[in-house]
């Protein structure tokens, strides 16, 4: 990968710290609504400023991703080199590909800020794009998921994060952009909680209390961490940036994790998912999938902020 060029347009606000609250919105664009949707996309930064200015310490951000099925309708060609439909995976467990043209990832230190901006955006898109999935995520104590383990420990930071997530010279027309894969997982909490702590740690590959990765000679080959370590042909680990959030509805006994992974090349995340769902020479599948079921799956390109502010017509 070439490094992101210094003259690249400004990226969207991906490279910002984890926050306490998120809302994830998935839209399908109605036929014939392309012009209206482009107009809304051009106003996203202004709407975000209107909400965020009222509480600067709330650290509100908004990242918009565009799916392959709608890209040509909205912007014509060319399209980003790695943009395609999410590829469903069928092994011992299933990773579905589900509808999704636009993905809006809202983050802030307070849920009310996410909610306000979500309401403004959906009002503007009403009649032009319909919501097919909405998830409200929250920080769970010390960045843990509802399975009880810290999530996102291996996220890169600083320059390493930029190298991991931003498109560079390999696709110069879209430099500064990124790719994002999203999946909604629902957890079998009764089955998970029936496991001993040791069995849970073996499924994850990390200690539960102290969040310490197991040594290689003790880490089970079907553990989540073992199957998510991807290396290039030089043996260097390929990284992604995760912004996973827990969500749930206690009245319906629904508990889950919304997976959000950003990368400069979607093939990195796709390889992780292949390992998880299709297995490797040493593991049939990721052990965590025996307790977590993927119910959605989407891939989007995240254009630069400059691109969204003045989107091209086809």
Q: What is the pLDDT of residues 97-133, one digit of tens each?
A: 999 999 999 999 999 999 999 999 999 999 999 999 9
Please indicate, yes or no, if residue 2 is contained in any of the structural domains: no
How far is the C-alpha of 108 from the C-alpha of 167, rounded, in Å?
25
Q: Are 182 and 267 in contact (CB under 8 A)?
A: no
Please indicate, yes or no, if residue 16 is contained in any of the structural domains: no
> Burial code of 218-240, b = ≥16 C-beta within 10 A, e = fewer?
ebbebbbbbbbbbeeeeeeebbb
Shortest CA distance to 198 belongs to which of 190, 208, 211, 189? 208
Q: Are 106 and 216 in contact (CB under 8 A)?
A: no
Please indicate, yes or no, if residue 1 is contained in any of the structural domains: no
The total number of structural domains that make up the chain: 1
How far is the C-alpha of 176 from the C-alpha of 171, rounded, in Å?
10
pTM of the model: 0.94
Segment 148-161 shows an average pLDDT of 90
Please indicate, yes or no, if residue 242 is contained in any of the structural domains: yes
Please indicate, yes or no, if residue 9 is contained in any of the structural domains: no
| pLDDT given at position 234 | 85
What's the CA dihedral at 123, 245, 65, 279 to 10 degrees?
-140
201-242 per-position pLDDT tens digit: 999 999 999 999 999 999 999 999 999 988 888 888 999 999
Please indicate, yes or no, if residue 8 is contained in any of the structural domains: no
Shortest CA distance to 259 belongs to which of 235, 276, 281? 276
Q: Are strands 245-249 and 94-95 parallel, antiparallel or unpaired?
A: unpaired
Altogether, the residues listed in the chain come to a count of 314
How far is the C-alpha of 49 from the C-alpha of 259, rounded, in Å?
26
Domain carrying residue 153: 21-309
Please indicate, yes or no, if residue 193 is contained in any of the structural domains: yes
Shortest CA distance to 67 belongs to which of 314, 303, 268, 260? 303
What's the CA dihedral at 144, 181, 295, 152 to 10 degrees?
-10
List, by residue number, the catalytic residues: 151
Phi, psi torsion values for 153, nearest 5 degrees: -60, -35
């Amino acid at each position: 990968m070439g490094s992101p060029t210094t003259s690249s347009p400004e990226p969207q606000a991906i490279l910002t710290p984890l926050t306490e609250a998120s809302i994830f919105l998935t839209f399908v664009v109605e036929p014939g609504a392309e012009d209206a949707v482009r107009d809304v996309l051009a106003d996203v930064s202004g709407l975000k400023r209107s909400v965020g200015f009222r509480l600067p310490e709330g650290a509100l951000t908004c990242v918009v991703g565009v799916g392959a099925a709608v890209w040509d309708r909205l912007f014509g060609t060319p399209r980003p080199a790695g943009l395609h439909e999410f590829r469903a995976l069928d092994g011992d467990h299933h990773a579905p590909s589900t509808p999704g043209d636009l993905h809006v990832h809202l983050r802030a230190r307070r849920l009310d800020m996410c909610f306000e901006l979500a309401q403004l955006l959906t009002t503007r898109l009403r009649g032009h794009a319909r919501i097919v999935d909405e998830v409200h995520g929250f920080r769970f104590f010390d960045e843990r998921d509802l399975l009880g383990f810290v999530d996102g420990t291996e996220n890169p930071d600083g320059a390493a994060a930029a190298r991991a997530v931003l498109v560079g010279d390999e696709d110069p027309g879209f430099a500064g952009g990124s790719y994002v894969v999203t999946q909604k997982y629902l957890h079998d909490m009764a089955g998970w909680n029936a496991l001993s702590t040791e069995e849970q740690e073996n499924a994850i590959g990390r200690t539960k209390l102290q969040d310490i990765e197991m040594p290689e000679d003790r880490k089970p080959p079907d553990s989540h961490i073992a199957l998510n370590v991807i290396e290039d042909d030089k043996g260097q680990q390929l990284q992604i940036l995760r912004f996973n959030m827990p969500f749930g509805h206690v009245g319906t006994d629904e508990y889950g994790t919304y997976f959000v992974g950003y990368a400069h090349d979607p093939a990195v995340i796709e390889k992780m998912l292949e390992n998880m769902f299709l297995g490797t020479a040493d593991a049939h599948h990721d052990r965590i999938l025996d307790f977590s079921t993927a119910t959605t799956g989407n891939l989007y390109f995240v254009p630069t902020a400059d691109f969204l502010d003045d989107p091209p017509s086809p």
